[in-house]
Amino acid sequence: MEPEERGTVEDHPSLQWCEIDAPMDKESKMNIWNWPTMMKARLGSRTVNILQILLLCTVGSVVLLRDSIGVGIELTLNTASPVEANVMDNLIGPKRNIASVEEKSVRELESVVVEEQQPPPRHPEKSRAPVVIEESPTVAANGEEKASIESNNVKPQEHQNPPVKDERAKRKKQKKPRKEEEVLIQEIQQPPVDDSNEQGGSSNLTASEPFSLGKNPKNWDQLRLGWLEKYPFMRTTPNGKPRMLMITGTQPWACKNPGGDHLMLKSIKNKIDYCRQHDIELFYNLAHLDREMSSYWAKLPIIRKLMLTHPEIEWFFWMDADAMFTDMLFEIPMETYGDYNLVMWGYDKGIYTERAWIAVNNGVFFFRNCQWSLDLLEMWAPMGPEGTVRNEWGKLFTEFLTKRPVMPADDQSALVYLLLTKPELRAKVKLEWAYELSGYWLDFVYKFEELMVTPGNHPGQGDKRWPFVVHFTGCQPCSGNNNPVYTSDTCAQQMERAFNFADNQVLQAMGFQHENLNSSYTKRIFEDTEEPLENLGPNTWATAAVSYGV
């Protein structure tokens, strides 16, 4: 059978370079695709052999380079077009399994991308041993404990992952609301909870090691009397009253609660106004004298120090920062306390019969400068050091006192405990009930407008008709750590109203008062006259004891 004609050089102008002068048979001339035969005819067999050798060397070099470059060249070659890939396959020969290598590389790249996108692991890997760091408590400036870590205190632990789910389940079970405690707090007052901003430090003392505020004199009354005989003019105020020093204060750093510093400013302004009108000196404390006596226990060291350094003061008047005067004319009946050394709000039945830890309030009280008071402080203070001592005494108080919630020891529970276990102290303690020495704020803040317009009510009464002091127990205006029963907004709004209620009694002497108790703006209530001194008494700061607010 004749071979199929595939064309001649004349039929393909692009192949005219293959035309040769040597005669060819018909079959050779017709088979123009047999280029090696044509090249031999044109160039000679020797030259063609050399070209073939060069081609083989080139192919061998490519194969060697391919083996040395490896996957990289495979991936590069794999990106070529199908035609180019086919040509290279023919040149290089059989390849390794590029598909498997490429698939493996892609998996590795994907794993890297996934690892970068995922957040860091929350728990250490199993192959890495967690460490236990021994902490030695040191006190920071803000009262929080920090860990003092040393390299030789790091100990490896067994390879294990912490049982996070179990711990979370346990915590959820423990967070059961104490309904009894919430009802108790709603009924009446409670001492302030630990302020997170208070400076404090864990004590190294144990319950068996007594804590002391310092060395006390045993004959303080005689020492003080001798000093007063030496400086007799220091005994009384210019008005002939026994000298009294109010002690209050706050923390030395800024409040965490927004607006807390502004409320503290209004609180001290309120106290300055009352002290100025009643010839009382004021000591505003920002220093923390004993780190172990933190939070509500901080009052004990400062009272003791002021007693020993100010023998001219007969009475010390402690008042919490969250308490405000609301009767600026009320005169404290100090002349009726001649037989007492400690005067505070409370009632006998609540302490001595019911053993209620809320039967007194330590936020506002009077303390006489005498040996008895120093001795009481010495008995009182050992229950307060932060840490083990405070926690252990707190457990005892919870068991001993009625309806006291589980919490560390507070100064109020400690005083109730002393009065119950040391009957000899009771004769010198006056539990004041005749006027509002520490009025519970929810009993009055929503009644101020009614009190202002009720006939017969006026400043100077100090009782439920016009409360002397309103105490915002359960509110923490500086830290914001309020009792859950009260919101920060409620505490702040009602403190503003109490301040304006008292401030009206100061502004009235100048002919002004607030537009309303919710406003800081003022309005004029009477015009100036040509006789401004006609009704002005010797106490130029005192307001008139008249009803106002209409």
For the cut 70, the answer to whether the pLDDT of residue 376 exceeds it is: yes
pLDDT of residue 68: 54
Half-sphere exposure of 246 (CA within 13 A, CB side): 25
Tell me the sheet residues that pair with 402.
Answer: 356
pLDDT of residue 528: 84
The model's confidence at residue 66, banded by pLDDT at 50, 70 and 90, is low
pLDDT in tens, 441-469: 999 999 999 999 999 999 999 999 999 99
Whether the Cβ atoms of residue 190 and residue 473 lie closer than 8 Å to each other: yes
For the cut 90, the answer to whether the pLDDT of residue 405 exceeds it is: yes
- Which of 143-152, 311-320, 369-378, 471-480 is the least confident region? 143-152
The model's confidence at residue 167, banded by pLDDT at 50, 70 and 90, is very low
- pLDDT winner (highest mean) among 52-61, 76-85, 181-190: 52-61
Average pLDDT over the chain, rounded to whole?
A: 75
- Which of 56-65, 72-81, 99-108 is the least confident region? 72-81
> Rounded distance, CA 90 to CA 86, Å?
6
Q: Output the DSSP codes for 149-174.
A: --GGGEEE--S----HHHHHHHHHHH
Any idea which fold 185-485 has? Answer: Spore Coat Polysaccharide Biosynthesis Protein SpsA; Chain A (3.90.550)
Rounded alpha-carbon distances, angstroms, from residue 289 to 142, 367, 498, 518, 522: 14, 19, 31, 38, 41
For the cut 60, the answer to whether the pLDDT of residue 145 exceeds it is: no
> Rounded distance, CA 62 to CA 56, Å?
10
Q: Domain boundaries in the chain?
A: 13-113, 185-485
**Which pTM value belongs to this model?**
0.64
